[in-house]
Amino acid sequence: MLYVTKADGSKQPFDKQKIVRTCIRMRLTDKQARDVANRVEQAAREGMPTKKILQLIFSYAQQYRPEVKHLIDLREAISMMCPKPDFEIFVRKLLQEYGYDTSPAQLINGDCVEHEIDGIAKRGNEVIYIEVKHHYQHHTYTGLNICLEAKATLEDLIAGFGSKNKVRFNRGLVVCNTKFSDHAKQYADCAGVQLLGWNTPVGAGLETMIEDKKLYPITLLKILDAASEAKLGNNGIVLLKQLVQTDISELYRITKIPKPKLKLYQKYAAEILANNNSK
């Protein structure tokens, strides 16, 4: 059995199906994805870093989708977002696309103490307290403590309704850009805390919600520099869709990013979105 080296130095078996799934997320057909996986398998060597495996995937995938050269891996792109305000805005926009009305981060009194929450989402009878956790290292697991804190916060907010606050919360949602630990998932399932993260829930996780609605973060663009990402994010532009749909003059007005650079960003973003809609 062939083993590859993860970012933390640990070893794991080479997983051909994981490569196929990565290619499918890049909008390759099943046949194309399996061809790429076969070629990566042939090129892989014992102990090869998973980062190198990903580079091989992108290299081979470009032959089917040339626009791949303009983007990076979705999981890495999300990890490159600024936690505040970019990722929090991103989460609210994601929920909006799925029919929720959202409110931004705010201070709300619980029965015992005041809480700084990351947002509120409402849909029908649901009133959800949102707790957002972002990791720059996308291989980091979101652990039990986050779920414990979310549960305690929710209970205090519910207890404070009427006397201390005017929001009738009935659910808590923890959103992160990584996987959850087994303890976190076990506790959340028992305590009634909803989790949304990478492949959580299974088959309906963050990456699936993003792909289904084409809500790609601007950090997916390989040429996007950190200064531009910060200027765009600080002005609420966190999605490729927003970047493409906003007039160049308006983008320049709010960010002061040179127009030639903005036009290039828009060009590549449009190519990615167009090809992702064509499968």
- Please give the mean pLDDT across all residues of the chain: 92
Q: What is the mean pLDDT of residues 105-127?
A: 97
* pLDDT tens per residue across span 218-231: 999 989 999 999 99
Q: Is the pLDDT of residue 67 over 80?
A: no
Question: What's the pLDDT at 264?
Answer: 95
Q: 278 pLDDT exceeds 60?
A: no
Give the pLDDT of residue 42: 92
Predicted local confidence at residue 204, as pLDDT = 92
What would the mean pLDDT of 117-128 be, rounded to a whole number? 96
Residue ranges of domains in the chain, CATH in brackets: 3-64 (no CATH), 82-212 (3.40.1350.10), 217-276 (1.10.150)
Q: Which position has the higher pLDDT, 150 or 26?
A: 150
* Residue 178 pLDDT > 90: yes
| Of 245, 276, 195, 221, residue with least CA distance to 81 | 221
Residue indicated by tokens 């929710």 = 154
> Is 236 in contact with 82 (CB distance < 8 Å)?
no
Mean pLDDT of 8-12: 85
| Whether the predicted pLDDT of 277 surpasses 60 | no
The whole-number pLDDT of residue 279 equals 41
Q: What is the pLDDT of residue 21?
A: 85
What is the mean pLDDT of the segment spanning 124-137? Answer: 96
Confidence (pLDDT) at 16? 92
Average pLDDT over residues 110-129: 97
Q: In what order do the strands lie in the sheet with 171-176?
A: 101-103, 120-123, 126-133, 171-176, 194-196
Give the per-residue pLDDT at 276: 57
Determine the average pLDDT of the residues in 151-157. 97
